[in-house]
Structure 1
């Protein structure tokens, strides 16, 4: 009879396919789940060298898997001017001023995390920044990373003026005289970003390891990085992952989604295949793969660049001539997706507006028509608005719905900068998780961290309640769009494991699978649904080794 290296006793367990937790002990040997059973059954596997973890009253789940995150950038931003703790505009300016004073050697002040709702129209001004930093250029991405706040020095260095045209994939926010006012949207951010100092390789490496620590503390054992490539002055963030893998510092399981440059054509696919193969020859696919392509189809609704089927409204409720941006011509998108699919790569779409969702699904249909059914496991992320007629197409095309569930609630950015500018019928279609579930669509889950919190339990809370943790707001949308807790947690485990092509080894609690586990301090199924987000991770395990343990309070 085998002897376990590790056993958890007195716990309950939950895995996808079950409606509720069940009482069971878990035994682990050589990094794999050896047995799940009664105390008597597991007791027979305990030997002199077995580590016994008392988990009475706790809940054990498979490790969470984030199917859409940006950990490297999140970690770097934690090490730069981090505005995520700010509560209003004045708080942002205070943090910026303190950071600049503490870093007099910095050529540029860079960071991220400001919230658009802190500022009139979601567009802060260069003048406000100049009041705290005027001697050096300042470049600060907003919380959703679809815009940037810059000061006058940065505008001057970039040579921007009232005569500078908007790029085709972005917009310069302007004062009454046409001059840049200090906010840049989407592709317009590149007009300044291209001048900023390159991201130091050591900073990027430290950022990745810091992010890994943060995710482990939230029970996340695996993720898909939704933007890997040459950007923000970094030669290629895939090299950072490769270095961490070869150094033995990459403990998590990662799928790198290689960034599709929308100003290039299908010739870039050959480069991606070479990068994919260069990672594959390392021979550690259980730790790092690079066989996904990330394509951004549109922008975001709060700056009116999400691609909608109906035009945005003005401040008086009248239709404008703007229905958002399709960053890639639909015919070009269909050709690219068909070629990517034929090459055996997965496509990970950013598709937020209903027109963008339709264009992505049309591209998948073109790939299906050309290539037949493949095992691409393509997925569409964000899905703020999905037309009712397109819901069933997901299942028909084998496309997964990648949910950022934490967004599916009333909060200032949505209520002040989005809902007033959309037709009511589009508002009613916001984050239609229930419709997708009933249509038999495979649900997966991600955070988009650092755009929003990486906490899977907070996201599950919103998926179930359609209300943010601690909020007394009304639920967003109808009760029909709510998910039950079992479905939400299954999306964050088995669902994401499936799109990561790792369901054969992770995502579920089953004998023979990797012992990637998370132990919670309570059973969220047992309490009221409005307390789900109060649940905390006690410990996180990968291959049966503890990578995070919460200190006793």
Structure 2
């Protein structure tokens, strides 16, 4: 690698103080100097490559604090249902894919818009019209819900007599027959248990697809927030083949139904990853689900849902089992990462982390609670007090169809207006990090930041922003998507800021995002992305 001088632009280091106009990267991919020192040092080195920023903006590359890259990559393998705007379009796309792939035993795709059917309830018979003779399995965009056809129900042995499983729900039609929508893991697992496994090469290729996606959006580190044993095989194989092109940290999925038998597997998985010794792969983390999602009325709430259909929602870990499991993985040196949507789930997650700290004593643990859609006033200050990182998804803080059609009717306006309290948590001293939950929603940080700093939709609604008191400043949002994620990753001394000695993980934008109106941020062009000083993506006009 040649020594490289970036110049003729604005260089934002992600640290307080003035910007620079030049940055030097040495031949090991490490930042060597900034400003006048960079220019002077470059002049003393033969063969320095110059990158003219053309008046653009160079900053630390983004990290994604919570995502599902394997699932995102695999979406490109099946029918393209994500862009569909109606049930009819989804059915047509499934039919088109099935006809083009007659040898596919199962038609598997993701992720459809759950607001396209009343109550987010989709009928198997609609998919039967497209494919009556093979199983069809579609994931909703929340990845907590599955829509299947009748053949898939038959293969899974799901009938009108099948009881709702633990941590799951099987909705029925008025006549008692199974509808075709499956909610949460207990129900979804009935189908996945009989589905054929994806070929290893297809899965490795999916990680490549995910890397392409992320690099084109300026992201070079990703927290995979749901990793099972087959996924470990895929990541290790990709690392051994030299096929990883962004940094990944793995979070092993902890299932309350099988936790006691999983724990040794977490340790084995970590050891396998460490044995590969790849600079792009770590396995520091264990992922828990405290609840489901509001749209299914499975998010756990302190006060009941407006409909009362499921009362207070779903608590995945009963009693003190989450606290005991958190204590155990913390004892083994893992980072705790808990999905918590509802305010009851957030409280249970904080209680579990507090118990792990009290049980195991002080250490640098950096526990994470992801999403934090609702947090009670009584729990707001506990994040900073316990050192808990709220990893939030700024793109969700808007009055889009998901919010207006599914979320607000379930929570009520008053409670809905207390969602995604990013600024309150940040000002409380909590170490805020940001993520996307891709492919649940866009993995482009600038898409999320546009919403996070305006609380408005892409159409600019509502004027003045929804709950504008919770909007972040643009510089704070940029920092939380870079240095904030680096802190979550235990990597604040390695990347996330442009300082001498740090890895040259960089993103070059065509303009300064701090000066762009919020609604124009998604149009800011990622000119190039660099990982350890090497070009990972270059924009093609």
- Matched with 1:42 is 39
The Cα offsets for residues 239-297 of structure 1, whole Å up to 9 and x where unpaired, read as 1111111111112111100111221234422221122122223333x321112001111
Give the alignment partner of residue 151 of structure 2, picking from 148, 153, 161.
153
* C-alpha displacement of 1:44: 4.1
Answer yes or no: is 1:301 the counterpart of 2:299: no
Which whole-Å CA distance do the structure 1 matches of 2:436 and 2:350 have between them? 22
- Matched with 1:233 is none
Work out whether residues 27 and 33 of structure 1, in 8 Å CA contact, stay in contact via their aligned partners in 2. Answer: yes
Which whole-Å CA distance do the structure 1 matches of 2:309 and 2:111 have between them? 29
Structure 1: gaps spanning 5 or more residues: 231-235
The Cα offsets for residues 213-262 of structure 1, whole Å up to 9 and x where unpaired, read as 111101111111001113xxxxx111111111111111211110011122
- Matched with 1:204 is 203
Answer yes or no: is 1:521 the counterpart of 2:519: no
Which whole-Å CA distance do the structure 2 matches of 1:295 and 1:79 have between them? 28
- Matched with 1:268 is 262
- Matched with 1:220 is 219
1:528-539 paired onto structure 2 within 5 Å = 528-539=517-528
Which whole-Å CA distance do the structure 2 matches of 1:507 and 1:448 have between them? 19
The Cα offsets for residues 132-190 of structure 1, whole Å up to 9 and x where unpaired, read as 11111111001111101111111122222221111120111210022111111112111
* C-alpha displacement of 1:473: 3.7
Structure 2: gaps spanning 5 or more residues: none
* C-alpha displacement of 1:41: 4.7
Answer yes or no: is 1:403 the counterpart of 2:397: no
Which whole-Å CA distance do the structure 1 matches of 2:490 and 2:398 have between them? 30
Which whole-Å CA distance do the structure 2 matches of 1:41 and 1:256 have between them? 36
Aligned in 2, Cα 1:191/1:4: closer, same or farther, shift over 3 Å? closer
1:116-515 paired onto structure 2 within 5 Å = 116-187=114-185, 188-230=187-229, 236-284=230-278, 286-314=279-307, 319-320=308-309, 322-474=311-463, 477-515=466-504
TM norm structure 2: 0.96
| Secondary structure class of the residue paired with 1:172 | coil
| Secondary structure class of the residue paired with 2:93 | helix
Which whole-Å CA distance do the structure 2 matches of 1:474 and 1:175 have between them? 41
Aligned in 2, Cα 1:468/1:273: closer, same or farther, shift over 3 Å? same
TM norm structure 1: 0.94
The Cα offsets for residues 78-99 of structure 1, whole Å up to 9 and x where unpaired, read as 1112311212222211211110
The Cα offsets for residues 412-449 of structure 1, whole Å up to 9 and x where unpaired, read as 11111111111444212110111101101111111111
Aligned in 2, Cα 1:308/1:215: closer, same or farther, shift over 3 Å? same
The Cα offsets for residues 41-95 of structure 1, whole Å up to 9 and x where unpaired, read as 5144144411111103211111111111111111111111231121222221121
Work out whether residues 162 and 177 of structure 1, in 8 Å CA contact, stay in contact via their aligned partners in 2. Answer: no
Aligned in 2, Cα 1:84/1:35: closer, same or farther, shift over 3 Å? same
Which whole-Å CA distance do the structure 2 matches of 1:41 and 1:184 have between them? 58
* C-alpha displacement of 1:191: 1.5
| Secondary structure class of the residue paired with 1:450 | coil
| Secondary structure class of the residue paired with 1:82 | coil
| Secondary structure class of the residue paired with 2:180 | strand
Aligned in 2, Cα 1:335/1:41: closer, same or farther, shift over 3 Å? closer
**Which is worse superposed, 215-224 or 238-247?**
238-247
